[in-house]
A and B are shown apart, each in its own frame.
Chain A
Amino acid sequence: MLLGHSYYKNNDFLFVDIPGTYSIMSYSEEEEIARNYICFEKPDATVIVLDATCLERNLNLVFQIMEITDNIVVCVNLLDEAKKKKIKIDLDKLSKKLGVPVVGTIARKKKTLNNLLDTILEVCEGKIKPKPKTVTYPKEIEDAILLISDKLKDYKVIPPKLLRWISLKVLDGDEKILKSIEKAFNISLIDNVNLEIVKVKALNTIKNQENLKDTIVSSIVNKAENICKDVCTYENTNYSKRDRKIDKILTSKVFGIPIMLLFLGIIFWITIVGANYPSEILFSFFKWIQEKLILFANYINCPAWLSDMLINGVYQTLTWIISVMLPPMAIFFPLFTFLEDLGYLPRIAFNVDGLFKKCSCTGKQMITMCMGFGCNSAGVTGCRIINSPREKLIAILTNNFVPCNGRFPFLISIATIFIAGSMQGFGASIVSTLSVILVILLGIFCALLVSKILSKTILKGMPSSFVLELPPYRKPQLGKILIRSIFDRTLFVLGRAISVAAPAGFVIWLFASIGINGESLLSIIANFLDPFANLLGLDGYILTAFIFGIPANEIVLPIILMCYLGGNSLVNMEDTFSIGQILIQNGWTILTAINVMIFTCLHFPCATTLLTIKKETGSLKWTIISFLLPTICGIILCMFTTFVYNIFV
């Protein structure tokens, strides 16, 4: 949950952002968190933010929350969007019908937000006493509620407000909710004989017991529908026409999937082209500082080994990662967030669900893979959107099959050197983008295949039911996108990478500097791995670099170059041409390039992702499996290409 402070009229507000849900009756984790917070943490006021463009559906939530708290402020947001769609909402009437204060807001207009703060303040201070008009159920259910709540009154710990709601939950026997109530008040509700007797008696008065839940939900839904009819006027009944037109194109049988690939391609292309210059600037900036640092170290008579370790080891690895990672991420994440805010991501899931269903998975997995393009660790966390535990686990295990931002620059460099070859400028960037997309499609294909194999073996199961909401398209707010993508995503991921890069820089320096009989530990390891690496069409240094790249994939190429040049510090990537020369001199062929690209896409996850997987699955076993799956795929594929290459060449 996110916390936020706000000072307004000499009052300090603490806002707790609880997960956005449409209901608090279902079983998802978010709904449970939201429900328990409102119910048991006793907030001074609960602000329910509704989308003015789909008020009816949001009102269900208001009625559910009314049953657990009185201090409600309803905030009808996106009034500007509603106006565009020619929906008029009578807020005063809505307030009267609900019995709680209603404030209309347009999030980007500060004045409307001050109205909201004023109302919240008045509710907190008790100047406004909301009297929620809760839903009345059919008489037989109301009678049953009364019977049970009479019995529950014996428990003095239960706040009077919650009696009715808890009675309702006892009646429909919702164990999960009842358990959290038991825990909060330290009482017994489920295995309570006295209560059970009353419950049986109460249930006997209800004719249609089997559909009790349906009746309860229907009462709420119908009430929301009626209120909406009363307070909303639609001047244009076809207000969603524009959205349907866009949807017809974006999800069309012929264009749906090509458009999706085109969007991703454009994002990658902009990232590739746009990241070059800032990367170079950062490189030369850090290099300049490095020279000054060396001068400074000499000036204070710092021992040579120490300055070498700190400057050429730790500092250089650190700044290398920042220069390579920051620009593409600072471009990719805002672009991706733009697609997200536009409402396009659920359409991707809609388009490809059939493919994933064939592998006993869900189309939502594709959304988590798209997040993985930014950062696999973020993608793994994103798997929480998948409800079925089995499908969620499959999505977590296969997320690393799509290359993240840390691996893109490497893929792009190799593609530029060996595939785009002598091409220049625009053409070269298109060819590199296309070959990177090809590698990505290969990764997605492998992910699907592995998902299918998992579903048939260790994670047996059928594709589960699922509901996918396709929200209305929205004009994204650029400021919001920048803040969210730069602070929440880019800097967050970068910070994590930096925290592992510094120690990694130290370790790499150590392995490159310490040696036996003049041979560094690094090359001893590389020579040991060489025979196996040759089977994969790689060499020992490349494989060693991948292993040392576990802390962060960005440093794989610099380690390879460092090994080839025989130094003990990372090499600055000043231009791709000279890198190409070094690689070719060390025996790289087109096969090496292809296999390195395959292996970059398909190998063990980085340390951060592994830690995230451990956290999300809570199991060492699945973490190890997530390590092995892509590695085995990469090894098999590389062996295959080497085998084919050796036959024909």
Chain B
Amino acid sequence: MENTLNNLPLNHKGVIKSLNNTGTIRRRLLDLGLVKGTIIVPVLVSPSKGLRAFLVRGTLIALRDEDSSNIKVSF
């Protein structure tokens, strides 16, 4: 199944298919190793909503839903 990262259920493994973010955020994401084929798992939800933390390449990074909705994943 293919969907955007913000819709990936908590603790479900997803594989990054493509990044549609632009500008600086795109570079940041690439630098963090979010390239095609990378495994990514949402593990935490912010108590104030709109932000989730993902486990990727052994590190934990938080992204806003607006940004994760630009990342396509298959799961």
A residues within 8 Å of B by Cβ? 22-23, 25-27, 53-54, 56-57, 60, 213-214, 217-218, 221-222, 224-225, 240, 243-244, 247-248, 251-254, 256-257, 346, 350-355, 357, 363, 387, 463, 465-472
Q: Which B residues lie within 8 Å of A471 (CB)? A: 59-60
Q: 0/1 per residue, B36-69, Cβ < 8 Å to A?
A: 1010000111111111010101111111101100
Once the chains bind, are B59 and A57 in contact (CB under 8 Å)? yes
Q: A23 to B30: give the CA distance in the assembly, Å.
A: 10
Per DSSP, chain B at the interface is mixed
Q: Does B1 contact A (CB under 8 A)?
A: no
- Whether B51 pairs with A350 at a CB distance below 8 angstroms is yes
- Docked CA distance A357–B67 (Å): 13
Q: Which residues of the partner chain A approach B29 to less than 8 Å between Cβ atoms?
A: 467
- Complex contact A466–B35 (CB within 8 A): no
| Contact-residue size bin, chain B (C-beta under 8 Å from the other chain) | 35 or more
Binding site for A on B (CB under 8 A): 19, 21, 23-25, 27-33, 35-36, 38, 43-51, 53, 55, 57-64, 66-67
Given A257-B47, A466-B25, A467-B29, answer yes or no on A218-B58 (Cβ-Cβ < 8 Å). no
Is B48 in contact with A355, judged by CB distance below 8 angstroms? yes
Minimum CB–CB distance for A466 against chain B, Å: 7
- Contact across chains for A351 and B44 when beta carbons are under 8 A apart: no
Nearest CB of chain A from residue B18's CB, rounded to whole Å: 9
Residues of A with C-beta under 8 A to B35:
214, 217-218, 221-222
Which residues on the A side are within 8 Å of B57 (C-beta)?
A: 54, 56-57, 225
- B30, A354: Cβ atoms closer than 8 Å: no
Q: Name, among B31, B51, B53, B67, the residue most crowded by chain A CB atoms within 10 Å (CB to CB).
A: B31
Given contacts A256-B46, A353-B48, A463-B64, 16 further A-B contacts (CB under 8 A): A57-B32, A60-B31, A217-B31, A218-B36, A225-B57, A240-B58, A248-B44, A351-B46, A351-B48, A352-B48, A354-B49, A363-B51, A468-B61, A469-B62, A470-B44, A470-B61
Q: What is the count of residue pairs linking A and B with beta-carbon distances less than 8 angstroms?
A: 133
Whole-angstrom distance between the Cβ of A215 and the nearest chain B Cβ = 9
Query: Which residues of chain A come closer than 8 Å to B21, judged between CB atoms?
Result: 465
Residues of B within 8 A of A247 (CB): 43-44, 53, 60
Q: Which residue of A lies closest to B25 (CB)?
A: A465
Name B58's contact: one of A56, A256, A352 (CB within 8 Å).
A56
Among A225, A254, A352, A468, chain B packs the most CB atoms within 10 A around the CB of A468
Choice from A60, A225, A350 contacting B53 with Cβ under 8 Å: A350
- Asked if residues B33 and A60 are in contact (CB atoms below 8 Å), the reply is yes
Chain B residues with CB under 8 Å of A468's CB are 51, 61-63
A355–B29 CA distance with the chains assembled, in angstroms:
24
Question: Can you list 26 A-B contacts (CB < 8 A)?
Answer: A25-B31, A54-B57, A54-B59, A60-B31, A214-B36, A218-B35, A218-B36, A240-B58, A240-B60, A244-B44, A247-B53, A251-B45, A253-B45, A256-B47, A257-B48, A350-B46, A350-B53, A351-B48, A354-B46, A354-B47, A387-B24, A465-B23, A467-B25, A467-B61, A468-B61, A469-B61
